[in-house]
Amino acid sequence: MTDFHQDFVEFALSRKVLCFGEFKTKAGRLSPYFFNAGLFNDGESLGRLAQFYAKAALAAGLRFDVLFGPAYKGIPLAATAAVALAGNGCNVRYSFNRKETKDHGEQGDIVGAPLEGRVLIIDDVISAGTSVKESVDLIRAHGAVPAGVLLALDRMERGSGTLSAVQEVSQAYDIPVVSIVTLDDLVNYLEDRPEMAQNLRAVSAYRNRYGINS
| Cis status of the peptide bond prior to 189, with omega within 30 of 0 | no
Predicted confidence at residue 105, as pLDDT, reads 47
| Residue 68 near residue 74, CB atoms below 8 Å | yes
Q: Are strands 108-112 and 145-154 parallel, antiparallel or unpaired?
A: unpaired
Residue 163: CATH number of its domain: 3.40.50.2020
Q: What is this structure's pTM?
A: 0.92
Predicted confidence at residue 2, as pLDDT, reads 60
- Report the distance separating Cα 179 and Cα 124, nearest Å: 9
- Report the distance separating Cα 106 and Cα 49, nearest Å: 30
Q: Rg of the Cα trace of the chain? A: 17
- Report the distance separating Cα 118 and Cα 8, nearest Å: 27
Range of the domain at 37: 3-210
- Encoded amino acid at 150, one letter: L
Predicted confidence at residue 1, as pLDDT, reads 47
Residues labelled catalytic:
102, 104
Residue 205: C-alpha distances to residues 38, 163, 209 (Å):
27, 18, 6
Predicted confidence at residue 99, as pLDDT, reads 76
Successive 10-residue mean pLDDT values, the chain, 214 residues: 85 97 90 96 97 97 97 95 97 91 63 96 88 94 97 91 91 96 96 96 96 80
Number of domains in the chain: 1
